[in-house]
């Protein structure tokens, strides 16, 4: 009888134990989160990446060739995946060589190198007696180099083959000459590197300079931007478009105004007012048998009527005149 009662008590306690596991688990999760926040060493994505790629085994020469044939002949994605993953450590090794130049996030170089590695898998010819890792290293370096060149400055500093060559060799060659006791002048550098003196000078200036934002303040405690001190001889696009619109508007309104003039007024308008080489008042007076003064009065009257017409037809006509007045 006692055993039966004891079993019943145990059976009743079991559900209570199950219900208590959820709060305990939540409590443990909170404690783990607090522990990770207080950890002395923060999460390092580079270290995590290196740990993950170390699990992929390296391939033998025969395995590389076999996988390369499968990729080339059958476009086998699994084979391509194995070729890529087994050479991820090669990308890291090459990226570390360029880290001294880049001096920023190493993962950026690794990412670009991985793209180059995938391109190498596509282009690899397994029937040639070339080791895949040796062939892939050229693609990896090419993609890393391009990334560094494109992101070294806001404006690209190397677009030609000669400039790319100079980017990494110029400083090294200058130091060699200094160590040998020579002054690294552009002429000597151009002979040793096989590029023009002009390219040497240009690249030297680009490497020594740095990007400056035109929107940056002139001083730390100033609201004045650098761009405010730059002058340009050319008009802005907005001013050019605005002038073009005004020219079209005036051309159309002048055409309307001509319809309101007499033949004599039109001729005076064309020969005197609207001409690049206006004729004299005397010439027009002789043509119509009137005095010079009379021609001048007619001309003045035409200009007055034209101003009144423009004031009526063109909104804010005064703002378009040179002196800003409508008189």
At residue 7, the pLDDT reads 47
Give me the pLDDT at residue 160, please: 56
Single out the residue of 82, 112, 83, 78 nearest to residue 95, CA to CA: 112
Please give the residue that has the higher pLDDT: either 139 or 311. Answer: 139
For 10-51, how does the pLDDT look when each residue is reduced to its tens digit (9 = 90+)?
Answer: 444 444 444 444 555 555 555 555 544 555 556 689 899 999
Can you say whether the dihedral through the CA atoms of 295, 301, 303, 309 is positive or negative? negative
Distance CA 34, CA 31 (A): 5
> In the prediction, which pLDDT does 163 show?
61
Mean predicted lDDT score pLDDT of the chain: 77
The per-residue pLDDT for 12 is 46
Left (φ > 0), alpha (ψ -120 to 50) or beta: where does 75 sit? left
Q: Which two tokens stand for residue 127?
A: 């029937």
Percent residues over pLDDT 90 in the chain: 26
Q: How confident is the model at residue 123 (pLDDT cuts 50, 70, 90)?
A: very high
**Which domains does the chain show, CATH number per domain?**
51-151 (1.20.120.1810), 157-231 (1.10.10), 237-320 (1.10.10.10)
DSSP 40: S
| pLDDT in the model for residue 136 | 95
Q: What is the pLDDT of residues 180-234, one digit of tens each?
A: 888 888 888 888 887 788 877 777 766 655 445 556 666 666 666 655 655 555 6
pLDDT at 215: 62
**At residue 260, does pLDDT exceed 90?**
no
pLDDT at 92: 96
Look at residue 262 in the predicted model and tell me its pLDDT.
Answer: 86
Per-residue pLDDT at 147 exceeds 70: yes
Copy the structure tokens of residue 155.
């404006």
Distance between CA atoms of residues 154 and 283, nearest Å? 64
pLDDT in tens, 266-287: 888 888 888 888 888 888 888 8
Higher pLDDT, 248 or 91: 91
Q: Are 154 and 211 in contact (CB under 8 A)?
A: yes
At residue 18, the pLDDT reads 45
The band of 289, judged by pLDDT with boundaries at 50, 70 and 90, is confident
- pLDDT the model gives residue 327: 44
pLDDT at 326 over 60: no
pLDDT for residue 111 is more than 70: yes
Q: What is the pLDDT of residues 53-87, one digit of tens each?
A: 999 999 999 999 999 999 999 999 999 999 999 99
């Amino acid at each position: 009888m006692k055993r039966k009662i004891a079993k019943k008590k145990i059976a009743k306690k079991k559900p209570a134990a199950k219900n208590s596991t959820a709060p305990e688990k939540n409590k443990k999760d909170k404690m783990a989160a607090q522990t990770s926040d207080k950890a002395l060493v923060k999460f390092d994505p580079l270290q995590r990446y290196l740990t993950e790629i170390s699990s992929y085994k390296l391939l033998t020469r025969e395995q590389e060739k076999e996988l390369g044939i499968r990729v080339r002949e059958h476009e086998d994605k699994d084979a391509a995946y194995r070729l890529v993953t087994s050479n991820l450590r090669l990308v890291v090794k090459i990226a570390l060589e360029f880290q001294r130049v880049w001096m920023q996030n190493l993962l950026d170089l690794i990412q670009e190198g991985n793209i180059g590695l995938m391109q190498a898998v596509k282009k690899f010819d397994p029937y040639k007696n070339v080791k895949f890792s040796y062939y892939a290293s050229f693609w990896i370096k090419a993609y890393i180099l391009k990334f560094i060149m494109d992101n070294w400055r806001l404006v690209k500093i190397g677009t030609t083959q000669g400039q790319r060559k100079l980017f990494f060799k110029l400083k090294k060659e200058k130091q060699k000459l200094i160590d040998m006791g020579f002054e690294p002048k552009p002429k000597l550098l151009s002979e040793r590197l096989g590029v023009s003196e002009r390219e040497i000078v240009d690249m030297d200036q680009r490497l020594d300079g740095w990007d400056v934002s035109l929107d940056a303040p002139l001083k730390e405690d100033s609201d004045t931007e650098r761009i405010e001190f730059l002058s340009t001889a050319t008009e802005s696009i907005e001013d050019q478009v605005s002038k073009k619109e005004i020219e079209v508007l005036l051309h159309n309104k002048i055409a309307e105004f001509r319809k309101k003039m007499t033949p004599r007024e039109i001729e005076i308008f064309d020969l005197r007012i609207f001409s690049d080489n206006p004729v004299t008042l005397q010439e027009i007076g002789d043509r119509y048998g009137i005095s010079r003064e009379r021609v001048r009065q007619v001309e003045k009257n035409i200009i007055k009527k034209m101003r009144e017409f423009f004031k009526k037809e063109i909104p804010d006509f005064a703002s378009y005149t040179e002196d800003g007045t409508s008189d």
